[in-house]
């Protein structure tokens, strides 16, 4: 059964304190791994798609990496506006288009 | 351009009533998805449309839930005889094709009293 586990559940950082969020996954045939950001009361906002081990994507202070078992979302010198819940999801070749989500990491960045 | 829109944004209903939730996907997106987000449950897949057909309904929790899509565009999720456990945020997403990034709407918050 496909499964996604994110850690930590919550992370508190000081502004400028870099860190990483982890997404471990089990999937029979990975089509893609997706990272989303979700602010309270809003729908998830797409950040990145990674398709194969070794792939990396960057956007501003965020960098996503992928191995055969996990993905990391690295946050460099975060700012308070980076505070949000970050969601990881996988799509399985054998499961059509649906995304299987992890529980998310709630990030709080204090000034 | 316009993103995914959903209506209503909030819906409060009494147990046993039927509700309809609407989703307008991004123009030109062939794939449409419904998810449900509950406290402590995370995001759960409900149903997926490719065009007007639904090849995957595996996430619908019971036969009280149904969905349709017309004209390859607008979709409606219907919940009959609502129960308190149906209370959640219902999210719609669309993608250009299956496998592409899915873009989410703002959701409909459903509260069943």
B76 Cα to chain A: minimum distance (Å): 18
CB distance from A94 to chain B under 8 Å? no
Mean pLDDT of B51-72: 93
User: Which residues in A2-110 belong to E strands, given as ranges?
Assistant: 3-7, 10-14, 19-26, 30-38, 45-50, 56-59, 62-66, 70-75, 84-92, 100-101, 105-110
Largest Cα–Cα distance of chain B, in whole Å? 39
Q: Are A89 and A7 in contact (CB under 8 A)?
A: no
Residue of A nearest to B41 (CA): A103
Residue B1 pLDDT exceeds 70: no
CB distance from A91 to chain B under 8 Å? yes
Residue of B nearest to A43 (CA): B106
User: Which residues in chain B belong to E strands, given as ranges?
Assistant: 5-7, 10-13, 19-24, 31-38, 42-50, 53-56, 65-69, 75-79, 88-95, 103-104, 108-112
Mean pLDDT of A98-102: 96
> Strand A62-66 relative to strand B31-38: parallel, antiparallel, unpaired?
unpaired
Determine, for residues B102 and A102 on separate chains, whether the beta-carbon distance falls below 8 Å: no
> Could you read off the pLDDT of A39-71 as tens digits, one per residue?
999 999 999 999 999 999 999 999 999 999 999
Grade residue B41 by pLDDT with cuts at 50, 70 and 90. confident
CA–CA dist B49, A13 (Å, integer) = 40
Higher pLDDT, B81 or B42: B81
Chain A residues close to B103, C-beta within 8 Å: 46
> What pLDDT score does B98 carry?
87
Average pLDDT value for chain B: 95
Mean pLDDT of B27-43: 92
């Amino acid at each position: 059964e496909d499964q996604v586990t994110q850690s930590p559940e919550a992370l508190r950082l000081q502004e400028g304190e870099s860190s990483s969020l982890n997404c471990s996954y089990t999937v029979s045939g990975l089509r893609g791994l997706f990272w989303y950001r979700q602010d309270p009361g809003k729908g998830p906002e797409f950040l990145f798609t990674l398709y194969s081990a070794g792939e990396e994507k960057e956007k501003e202070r965020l960098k996503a990496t992928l191995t055969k078992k996990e993905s990391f979302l690295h946050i460099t010198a975060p700012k308070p506006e980076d505070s949000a819940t970050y969601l990881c999801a996988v799509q399985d070749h054998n499961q059509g288009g649906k995304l299987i989500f992890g529980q998310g990491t709630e990030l709080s960045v204090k000034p | 351009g316009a993103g995914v829109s959903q209506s209503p944004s909030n819906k409060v209903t009494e147990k046993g009533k039927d509700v309809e939730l609407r989703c307008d996907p991004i123009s030109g997106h062939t794939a449409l998805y419904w998810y449900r987000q509950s406290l402590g449950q995370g995001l759960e897949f409900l149903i997926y449309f490719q065009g007007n057909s639904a090849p995957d309904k595996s996430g619908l929790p019971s036969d009280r839930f149904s969905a349709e899509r017309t004209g390859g565009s607008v979709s409606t999720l219907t919940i009959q005889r609502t129960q308190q456990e149906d209370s959640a945020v219902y999210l719609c997403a669309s993608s250009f094709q299956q496998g592409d990034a899915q873009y989410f709407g703002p959701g409909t918050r459903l509260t069943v009293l």
